[in-house]
Amino acid sequence: MVPKSQAALKQSYAPVVKKAVPAVVNVYVSRRVSQRVSPFMNDPFFQRFFRDFGMPRERVQNSLGSGVIVGDEGIVVTNNHVIEGSGEAEITVALSDGREFPAEIILKDDRTDLAVLRLDAKGEKFRSVAFADSDSLQVGDIVLAIGDPFGVGQTVTSGIVSALARTQVGISDYQFFIQTDAAINPGNSGGALIDMDGHLVGINTAIFSKSGGSHGIGFAIPSNMVRLVVKAALEGGTVRRPWLGASLQPVTSQLADTLGLKSPRGALVNEINAAGPGAKAGLQVGDVVLSVDGMAVKDPQALQYRLVTKGIGGTATLGVMRDGRAQDVTLKLVPAAEVPPRNEKLLEGRTPLTGAKVANLSPAVAEELDLANEGPGVVVMDVTRGTVAARVACGRAIS
C-alpha cells in the first residue's frame, strides 16, 4: 500500500526501541583457566620436544552474551548457556549507558536454558521491560531483536514472527519456540525479542545456521516460560513442574487414521502411572490429548510446555479424543511425587558399583533428571572419580 502522507513515510520503530533498549544489557563472564606453557616454546627447535610440557600459567577466559532487565531492582534474565560453567567466574553486566555492575546467579535452569541474575546495585532502580503474553502472538507480527552480536555493541534488528510452537529444534528440554527472521547472531543469546508495544515476547536463544551467521531462522524462548522461571527465582526456589504421570508419543499419519483424527496432531497416551494425577483425572491409555485450556497441542513437547507454563496449583482442562469422541478431563497441577523417598546412599565395599551414589527412582527423581522411566528401580546420581563406578554414566537408571 502506497503511503498517503508525509507522516506515514516517516513511520519508525524508534519510539519502541527507545522504550526497550535501556533494559537490554551485555553479560560478561570472566573465568581464570590454567594452561601449561613451556619456557622453550619460543624456540622453534625446542617446540617439537616441549609441546606438551611446561609450567602452569593462568589466563582469563571471557565469554559474552546478552540479557534483559525484567525487574527494576536489577533482576536480569539471560540464557543458561551464556553463564554456563561460571561457578568460580566473575559475572559483570553492562548497561546500555555504559555503567557496569557485578551480578550474582539466583537461579540456573538448564532444562529451559534460562538463568536469572541479580545486580549488586546497592538499592539503585533500573529501567526494566514488561512481559507480554507470548500466547497472543500471531505469525506475521512484527518483532525486534535487541542484543550485542559479535560484541560490536548493542544492535537492533527487525523481522516478523515466522512460526510459533516450534517443537523439533533440539535446544532445550522444553521444545516450544518462537521462530523469527529478525537477524540473530552469536552474542545475541539472552537478548530481547520485543513486540510493537515494547514488551518482552521472548528471549533470543539460538539460530539455524551452517556458517555461524544469521540465515533468517532464529529461535526465542516464549515470555510465558521466561516469566515462570523469573517467578521461581524471586520466590527463592527452583522451577516446579506439574506432573502428568503418563508416557506420551507423537501421533503419526498412520496413527491418525487409526484414531479417527483428520490430521496427525496431539499427544497419544501409551502408558500411565496408576498413582499419578493423569490416571486420577480419568486419562486412559489410547487417549489423544489435543488441547490444554483451549490451547492446541500438536505433539508431546507442546503438551509438556503447556503444562509447565501453567505452574503448580489449580487445575487444567485437557481436551481429549477417546474412541473417536471428544471430551474434557480436569487435571490437578501437582508436582511429581517422591514415592518412594530417594534415600541417597554412597555404595562402599567390594561391589562393581563401589563409589556410586544411588537413589530410589521415583517420579520426582525421574522428572528432576529428565528420565522417561519413573521407577521402580534405582538411579546413579553421582560417582567418585577413580572408582569402578566411574565407568557408569550418572543419571543411569537400574531396574
Average of per-residue pLDDT values in the chain: 80
Closest CA to 238 of 351, 139, 142, 336: 336
Residue 350: the pLDDT is 73
* The one catalytic residue among 66, 96, 109, 113: 113
Q: Does 199 qualify as catalytic in the annotation?
A: no
Closest CA to 81 of 101, 102, 106, 109: 109
Out of 106-120, 146-160, 245-259, 350-364, which region has the weakest mean confidence (pLDDT)? 350-364
The model scores a pTM over 0.75: yes
Give the highest mean pLDDT range of 182-186, 212-216, 310-314, 330-334.
Answer: 330-334
Domain with residues 246-333, CATH architecture: Roll (2.30)
C-alpha grid cell for residue 120? Answer: 549488586
pLDDT digits (tens, 9 = 90+) for 362-397: 777 777 776 766 667 788 777 777 676 666 545 555
Task: Find out whether 377 is annotated in a ligand binding site.
Answer: no
Out of 64-68, 164-168, 326-330, 375-379, which region has the weakest mean confidence (pLDDT)? 164-168
* Polymer length in residues for the chain: 399
C-alpha grid cell for residue 185? Answer: 547472531
Residue 61: the pLDDT is 47
Task: Find out whether 113 is annotated in a ligand binding site.
Answer: yes
Q: Where are the domains of the chain?
A: 141-235, 246-333, 345-395
Task: Find out whether 189 is annotated in a ligand binding site.
Answer: yes
Q: Measure CA 249 to chain center.
A: 22
Q: Does 382 qualify as catalytic in the annotation?
A: no
Helix axes 300-308 and 223-234, enclosed angle (nearest 10): 40
Q: Which residue has the cell 572408582?
A: 387
Mean pLDDT of 161-174: 66
Q: For residue 113, how many other CB atoms are within 10 A of its CB?
A: 25
| CATH domain 141-235 topology | Thrombin, subunit H (2.40.10)
Using the predicted structure, report yes or no on whether residue 136 has a pLDDT greater than 80.
Answer: yes
pLDDT digits (tens, 9 = 90+) for 41-85: 555 555 555 555 555 555 544 667 889 999 989 999 999 888 876
* The one catalytic residue among 66, 86, 162, 189: 189
Cα–Cα distance for residue pair 200/19, rounded to 1 Å: 11
Task: Find out whether 141 is annotated in a ligand binding site.
Answer: no
Pick the residue with more confidence: 295 or 50? 295
* The one catalytic residue among 63, 66, 81, 214: 81
141-235 and 246-333: identical CATH topology: no
Using the predicted structure, report yes or no on whether residue 106 has a pLDDT greater than 70.
Answer: yes
Q: Does 81 qualify as catalytic in the annotation?
A: yes
Cα–Cα distance for residue pair 286/263, rounded to 1 Å: 16
Q: Which residues pair with 160 in a beta bridge?
A: 142
Residue 9: the pLDDT is 47
Q: Which residue has the cell 537477524?
A: 183
* CB burial of residue 292 (10 Å; 0-12, 13-18, 19+): buried
